[in-house]
Structure 1
Amino acid sequence: MADDSGSGSRNGTESNGPANNGAGDGPPQNTQSNPVLAHMMQNKVETTLWFTRIFTVICSVLFLLPIFGGNPYSFYQRALISAAATSALRMHQRLPNVQLNMDFVRRLFSEDSSHYLMYCIIFLNSYPMTMSLIPIFLFALLHACSFTKTVLNLMGPQSMMFVRNAVMKLEAQQVNILRFIASTEIFLMPAIVILVFSGKASFFLPFLYYRFLTLRYSSRRNPYNRTLFSEFRQAVEFLCSKPQCPQFVRNLCFSSIGFISRLAPPIQAQ
């Protein structure tokens, strides 16, 4: 906050000569009286990310609740395109210098932003699925909270209290939201398989999504996918171990667990 105000003062000082001319209503006072605008101008990348995330949230809501009319599929595509733009810009922040070597490729695919850039491309031209919008909607909502709090603080400590309270509630539920996102990522796979057999999705879609799921499973920054897989496995094994469970169901569940475990990528120690 101190750096922001300092930059605003420096900008005002630099433009004070030609624009002021002894008047008190020149550009320096406009900059000082609009700390939100000054902060946005000083942090253009973060502001752009904030706008793309808000646009993702709006398009996702309009797809689910088409209260203003229009084609819902267009809102579906706009939400994915906006989320893809967010991921691409975030990926550029994390890896600004492109290098043509395998080490850079490994670092590229270890970034969560590259995972969701792939995710958006996978679902962009596929049959619209409500489940596919849930992760990008919730991620956009969560990641927009920090910048929203900064904007609200610049507007004043009592400004838009309903928005401030909503942001605080979202942050308090961050772990539960991240777990729900991981659950959605996992259960999207059987949903995609059902779409393939119903003729509404390409045969290659499950293979592409499997690659995305393996990247999420081995993510260094977000361990919730791995955690949920482990918890689901423990829950299924606990239910199958009960005497009331039929033998064929037990055999089917353990065979499925073994098959899924073989598909899981090895996790390298960091």
Structure 2
Amino acid sequence: MSESENRNEEDRPQPQPTTGLNVLTAHIGRNKIDFALWCTRFATIIFTFNYLIPIFGSGYNMYYKALLANSATSALRLHQRLPQVQLSREFLGKVFIEDSAHYLLYSMIFFYSPPVTWVLLPVFLFALLHISSYSLGLIELLGSNALGLVRMAIGIVEVQSVNLLRTIAFSEIFLFPMLLLSFFSGRSTLMTLFVYYRFLTLRYSSRRNPYTRNTFGELRFLVESYAQNPSCPSVIRNLVSKLVAFISRLAPPVITAEQQ
């Protein structure tokens, strides 16, 4: 090979690696907010585990740290969705359409209340769901065969994603009667009930996540099916009918994307 051919070979761009630690580091550098979201969601998971099984620090403190991590996740996600802040009624309306704003409100509701383990279930499951898909992308950057056990765990989460979303919706709904009982026992306030009811109406109206609305429909169908059973006492049947009618009147109108 001549000297000129050698020079041409050296000047030719070398193929860049598509996987490896350097590629992962470069990806994180280009997607700082996405990686920050991964970190806050991972923190939510760790703090929830530490609340249930106190290994590092006080379980009481871990409860509020999990809510704080969820607040950070919600705030970052809201910033991604609405980067330009405006002081207007229209912008405020856009904020409360976003699911991330709903869960920012959720964290604020319970941050100054006594710990209720059930409260952490939705934020934990949401963190688990959202961290899984992004984690798989990060692992792919390390290599196609990297972290096989973690890949299997992520696969299980993704297969069960619909069931996990339905579980989140059930936990959101059943938390309200739990708060009602807590109010009568002196563990929650009327303000907590009022703001949480507002949170539920926002979740019911969500355009991106219909699971809470669908779950309300499933529960109504189950309750009405039981009430219509001939073996159901008439007193209970009438009570169920009035209760369903009352709850249905409280349901907010749902505005779909086609209607806007």
When normalised by structure 1's length, the TM-score is 0.86
CA contact (8 A) 2:51 2:60 kept: yes
Name the residue aligned to 1:47: 35
TM-aligned CA deviation for residue 269 of structure 1: 3.7
CA contact (8 A) 2:20 2:142 kept: no
**Paired residues for 1:144-223 under 5 Å:** 144-223=131-210
Name the residue aligned to 2:9: none
TM-aligned CA deviation for residue 125 of structure 1: 1.2
CA 1:33 to 1:224, structure 2 compared with 1: closer, same or farther past 3 Å?
A: closer
Identity %: 48
- Return the match for 2:48 from 60, 79, 89: 60
List gaps (5 residues or longer) in structure 2.
1-15
TM-aligned CA deviation for residue 186 of structure 1: 0.3
- Return the match for 2:69 from 53, 74, 82: 82
Q: How many residue pairs end up in the alignment? A: 241
**Paired residues for 1:136-147 under 5 Å:** 136-147=123-134
Specify the SS of the correspondent of 1:204.
helix
Name the residue aligned to 1:248: 235
The Cα offsets for residues 106-164 of structure 1, whole Å up to 9 and x where unpaired, read as 11100000000000000111111111100000001111112201111111111111100
TM-aligned CA deviation for residue 32 of structure 1: 7.4
Letter matched to residue 198 of structure 1: S
Specify the SS of the correspondent of 1:91.
helix
TM-aligned CA deviation for residue 99 of structure 1: 1.4
CA 1:229 to 1:32, structure 2 compared with 1: closer, same or farther past 3 Å?
A: closer
When normalised by structure 2's length, the TM-score is 0.89
Instruction: State how far apart, in whole Å, the 1-side matches of 2:20 and 2:91 are.
Output: 43
Greater displacement, 154-163 / 84-93: 154-163
Name the residue aligned to 2:121: 134
The Cα offsets for residues 4-30 of structure 1, whole Å up to 9 and x where unpaired, read as xxxxxxxxxxxxxxxxxxxxxxxx99x
Letter matched to residue 205 of structure 1: T
Instruction: State how far apart, in whole Å, the 1-side matches of 2:159 and 2:202 are.
Output: 27
The Cα offsets for residues 197-255 of structure 1, whole Å up to 9 and x where unpaired, read as 11111221110100000000000000000100011001111111011101111111111
CA contact (8 A) 2:20 2:143 kept: no
Letter matched to residue 140 of structure 2: N
Instruction: State how far apart, in whole Å, the 2-side matches of 1:141 and 1:182 are.
Output: 15
The Cα offsets for residues 44-95 of structure 1, whole Å up to 9 and x where unpaired, read as 11110000000000001111111x1532110000000000000001001100
CA contact (8 A) 2:207 2:255 kept: no
Instruction: State how far apart, in whole Å, the 1-side matches of 2:191 and 2:223 are.
Output: 29
**Paired residues for 1:86-101 under 5 Å:** 86-101=73-88
Question: RMSD of the TM alignment (CA)?
Answer: 1.6
TM-aligned CA deviation for residue 33 of structure 1: 5.3
Instruction: State how far apart, in whole Å, the 2-side matches of 1:187 and 1:46 are.
Output: 32
Report 1 or 2 for greater relative contact order, CA contacts < 8 Å, sequence distance ≥ 6.
Answer: 2
Greater displacement, 260-269 / 231-240: 260-269
Instruction: State how far apart, in whole Å, the 2-side matches of 1:124 and 1:249 are.
Output: 38
CA 1:35 to 1:260, structure 2 compared with 1: closer, same or farther past 3 Å?
A: same
TM-aligned CA deviation for residue 268 of structure 1: 2.3
Name the residue aligned to 1:35: 23
Letter matched to residue 170 of structure 2: S
Specify the SS of the correspondent of 2:144.
coil
CA contact (8 A) 2:21 2:142 kept: no
